[in-house]
Amino acid sequence: MTTLQTAREAGEQAAALCLDRARRADPEFPEKAADAILRHLKAVIRASGEDLVDIAIAHGARPRDMRAFGGIFQRLVREHSIRCIRSDLPRRRGHGCSGCRLYEICL
């Protein structure tokens, strides 16, 4: 039986693998993505994860697998640079299902 902890660990492991692959393709990907996300949040205070991913892509952080952004968000949250304030917003990429996260900059 899979526990919540086991599922979380599997998700973190998958995010790390995607991020590692993106870093091999573009060693500057993690910094470009984090910088674009933080600069945007400093300007607007809060934004959805989907909007932040779009912003990072527009600023040149374009991984082959978009799941690589999971590792970026995890790092920024762990560093207390950003925080998730909601996780039940409708998703644009998920056909309107809930689960989109709203992030804000930690001041």
Contact assessment for residue 106 and residue 51, using Cβ atoms and an 8 Å cutoff: no
Residue 1 has pLDDT above 60, yes or no: no
In whole angstroms, what is the distance from residue 64 CA to residue 49 CA? Answer: 18
What is 4-105's CATH topology? Arc Repressor Mutant, subunit A (1.10.10)
Contact assessment for residue 52 and residue 103, using Cβ atoms and an 8 Å cutoff: yes
Taking only the tens place, the pLDDT of each residue in 40-62 is 999 999 999 999 999 999 999 99
What's the pTM? Answer: 0.87
